[in-house]
Amino acid sequence: MTTIDSSHLVRMFNQVAAALDADKDRLCQLDGVIGDADHGIAMELGFSAVRDTLASLDVAGLDPTAVFNTAAKSFLNAVGASSGPLYATAFMRAGAAVKGKPALEEADMVAALQAMAKGIQDRGKAEIGEKTMIDAWVPAADAAGAAFAAGKPLAQVLEAAVVAANEGAEATKAMVAAKGRSARLGDRSIGHMDPGAASAVTVLEAMRQGLTEA
């Protein structure tokens, strides 16, 4: 499957919601070490709100941009933590990147992923190496772009993104937090994975499953 319509995007968001539900406790534990222990709850709340809102709409009448914009609003309304505006911006940017398209080709999906990473970066102003979700999202978007440029099919493009996100999340263990709540820990944040980078891996893996597995 290379063409992604709104119903595929809904399936993708449903898959992400289920994955965050399953991963909630681990993410709260990670956030408990260097933050305030709510990251799993925030992400689960956000994506279940997206899932429930999309379920209440007639998706056949929505184009992909409308699905992403709906996701952005639902996520923002449901999440009070810093991940709320970061993911809401990601979805808004994904929607803008595919504006006017009734369905998405592989190139559009890659553009949407890259727009998500850029949106999170623009909104949060974090750079690589500052121990945030950016350390997973930016390498993931870059890897997706490289795999697409190398002619890989969507399944392999998304797989490459997941692998890169996972490496980025692992790398956050060695970093000193410089953005967000954990920044005040300074050197004491070393040795622990950033929860937002950890959840980015879960999000991307569920996106991959929802878009490429029947």
Which residues are near ligand ADP by CB under 6 A?
31, 35-36, 38-39, 42, 81-83, 86, 120, 124-126, 132-134, 179-181, 194-197
Query: Nearest residue to ligand ADP, using CB?
Result: 196
Task: Select from Mg ion, ligand ADP, none the partner in contact with residue 86, using the beta carbon and a kind-dependent cut-off of 5 to 8 Å.
Answer: ligand ADP
Structural tokens at position 21:
């539900």
Regarding 52 and contact with Mg ion (CB under 5 A), the answer is no
**Candidate segments 32-40, 69-77, 115-123, 131-139, binder of Mg ion by CB under 5 A:** 32-40
User: Do 122 and 114 meet the contact criterion of CB atoms below 8 Å apart?
Assistant: no
Q: Which amino acid is at 194?
A: D
**Which residue number, 154 or 203, has a Cβ lying nearer to ligand ADP?**
203
User: 185 to each of 26, 88, 190, how far by Cα in Å?
Assistant: 20, 27, 9
**Which residue number, 25 or 36, has a Cβ lying nearer to Mg ion?**
36
Least separation in angstroms between residue 4's CB and Mg ion is 32
Regarding 35 and contact with Mg ion (CB under 5 A), the answer is yes
Residues 85, 120: Cα–Cα separation, whole Å: 9
Regarding 106 and contact with Mg ion (CB under 5 A), the answer is no
Residues 194, 207: Cα–Cα separation, whole Å: 20
User: Do 17 and 207 meet the contact criterion of CB atoms below 8 Å apart?
Assistant: no
In this chain, which of 23, 38, 159, 205 binds Mg ion, going by CB under 5 A? 38
Task: Select from Mg ion, ligand ADP, none the partner in contact with residue 212, using the beta carbon and a kind-dependent cut-off of 5 to 8 Å.
Answer: none
Q: How many other C-beta atoms lie within 10 A of the C-beta of residue 100?
A: 7
Residues 160, 158: Cα–Cα separation, whole Å: 5
